Amino acid sequence: MADEPNAERDAILAALKPVVEGIAATFGPICDVVLHDYRNPEQSVVAVAGSVTGRTAGGAMSEIGMRVLARGDTAADELNYVTRARNGTLVKSSTMVLRDSRGAVFGALCVNVDVSAVTQVHGLLGALAGLGAAPAELPTTTFGNDIDAVVDALVDAHQSQQRGSWAELDRAERLELFGGLDTRGVFAVRGAVEQVAARLGISRASAYNYLSQARAAHDTSTGGPA
C-alpha cells in the first residue's frame, strides 16, 4: 500500500518518544534530546526533552538537520561533535539518523549536552598545570525553532567568509556561496531559494540560475550527480 512507508515511520517515531524522555532524565538539566521527522522540515521537531538548545515541539530543523537532509539516504550518524550555540554555550552533540526498513532516511534522534562548565574547569586545570594551549575555534551552530532564522544565519555565515557584499563578489565567489549553501542543505527547505534571493538582494530568477550553475560545476568536478 502507498501509505505503508509512512505508517512504519510514524510507528518508529512513536516508539522513540519515551526514549527521548529517558535519555534526558538520565543526564539531567545539562542535556536535551530532540526527535526529528524530516518529512516536514519546517516543523521537524516531534518530541523534545530538556532545554539546552531551546527547541520546542513543532520547531524547525537546525542547520545540522539541513545537512543530513541534503545527503539523503547516504547520510551517516554524526557522533560526539562539539559546536558553539549562538548564545555562546558549548554543546557536545550526537545526531543519529533514522531509517525505515527500506533504508530511507526520514528523521534523526539528536542528543545535546551542555559542556560549557566542563570546558571551563578543564581550562582552569590546564592553567594551573601550566598548559597554555589555546582552545580550538569551534564552529557556531544555529539551533532555532524558526526555519527562516536558520537559513538567514547560514547565509550570513557564508557571506562573512567572502570578501564583501554580494555586489563585490565575482562570479566564482557567487557560485561558491550558492554551492556552499546547497551542500549544507539550505535549498532542501521549501521556499529557501526565494528567501536567499531576498537576503542577497537579487531576483528569484538570478538565484535559481546561480544555484543551477553551482550544481553543474559540482557535478563536473565530481564526475557525476551529487
Specify burial of residue 73 (Cβ count, 10 A radius: 0-12, 13-18, 19+). exposed
Binned at pLDDT 50, 70 and 90, residue 226 comes out as very low
pLDDT at 85: 79
Q: What is the mean pLDDT of residues 14-39?
A: 95
pLDDT at 136: 56
Q: pLDDT tens for residues 164-189? A: 678 888 889 889 889 988 888 888 88
Which residues contact residue 172 at a Cβ distance below 8 angstroms, ignoring those fewer than 6 apart?
A: none
Model confidence at 1: pLDDT above 60: no
pLDDT at 213: 93
Model confidence at 219: pLDDT above 60: yes
Question: What is the Cα Rg of the chain in Å?
Answer: 19
Q: What is the SS3 assignment for 20?
A: helix
pLDDT at 77: 95
pLDDT at 46: 96
Pairing of strands 105-114, 45-49: unpaired
Q: pLDDT tens for residues 84-139? A: 877 788 899 999 999 999 999 999 999 999 998 776 665 666 666 666 555 556 66
If phi > 0 it is left, if psi is from -120 to 50 it is alpha, else beta; for residue 178 that is alpha
pLDDT at 74: 93
* Nine-digit cell string for 35: 526527535
pLDDT at 221: 63
The Cα 173–Cα 171 span in angstroms is 5
Please calculate the CA angle 65-11-98 and round it to the nearest 5 degrees: 30
* Nine-digit cell string for 39: 518529512
pLDDT at 11: 97
pLDDT at 119: 67
pLDDT at 65: 86
What is each CA distance from 109 to 32, 98, 159, 166, in whole angstroms?
A: 11, 7, 30, 36
The Cα 20–Cα 41 span in angstroms is 19
Q: pLDDT tens for residues 45-98? A: 999 999 998 889 999 888 888 888 888 899 999 999 888 877 788 899 999 999
Kindly report the pTM of this predicted structure. 0.72
Q: What is the SS3 assignment for 34?
A: strand
- 197 or 219, which is more confident: 197
Q: What is the SS3 assignment for 74?
A: helix
- 77 or 3, which is more confident: 77
Residues of the chain with pLDDT > 70, as a percent, come to: 82
CB-side exposure of 202: number of CA atoms within 13 Å? 18
pLDDT at 190: 82
pLDDT at 62: 83
